[in-house]
Structure 1
Amino acid sequence: MSPTKHTIVALVEDRPGVLNRMASLFRRRGFNIDSIAVGRSETPGFSRMTIVVDGANTMVEQVRKQLDKVVDVVKVSDITGQDIICRELALIKVKSTPANRSEIMQIVDIFRAKIVDVASDSLTVEVTGDEEKVNSLYNLLRAFGIKEITRTGRIAMTRGGLATATELQSAKESKTKE
Structure 2
Amino acid sequence: MSKSAYEIDDHHDSVERYVVVAWVDNEAGVLARVSGLFSGRGYNIESLAVSEVDHERKISRITIATNGTKEVIKQIQAQVLKLVPVHKVNIYPINEETIFRELALVKFIGEGEILQKAEELCVDNKFEFLDKTSKSFIVQALGLRTEIDEFIKKIKALGTVSISRTGALAMKKGSETVKDNKGLVL
- Quickly name the TM-score band, shorter chain normalised: 0.7 to 0.9
- Partner residue, 2:64: 51
- C-alpha separation between the residues in 1 aligned to 2:53 and 2:176? 12
How far off its partner does 1:65 sit?
0.2
Contact 1:74–1:171 (CA under 8 A) maintained in structure 2: no
SS in 2 for 1:109: helix
Q: Structure 2 length normalisation: TM-score?
A: 0.83
Cα distance per residue 1:83-118 (max 9 Å; x no partner): 111110001112220233322222111111022222
- Change beyond 3 A, Cα 1:147–1:101: closer
- Partner residue, 1:127: 141
- Partner residue, 2:168: 154
Contact 1:92–1:146 (CA under 8 A) maintained in structure 2: no
The one-letter amino acid of 2:85's match is D
SS in 2 for 1:100: helix
Unaligned runs of 5+ in 2: 1-11
Contact 2:127–2:139 (CA under 8 A) maintained in structure 1: yes
Q: Structure 1 length normalisation: TM-score?
A: 0.86
SS in 2 for 1:168: coil
**2:69 counterpart of 1:63:** no
SS in 1 for 2:42: coil
The one-letter amino acid of 1:19's match is L
- Change beyond 3 A, Cα 1:59–1:169: closer
Contact 2:115–2:135 (CA under 8 A) maintained in structure 1: no
SS in 1 for 2:99: strand
- C-alpha separation between the residues in 1 aligned to 2:94 and 2:121? 33
Give the number of aligned pairs: 170
| Mapping of residues 1-178 of structure 1, within 5 Å | 1=12, 2-42=14-54, 44=56, 45-80=58-93, 83-163=97-177, 167-168=179-180, 170=182
- C-alpha separation between the residues in 1 aligned to 2:175 and 2:126? 28
- Change beyond 3 A, Cα 1:94–1:125: same
- C-alpha separation between the residues in 2 aligned to 1:15 and 1:81? 30
RMSD, matched Cα: 2.0
Identity of aligned residues (%): 29
- Partner residue, 2:9: none
Contact 1:6–1:55 (CA under 8 A) maintained in structure 2: yes
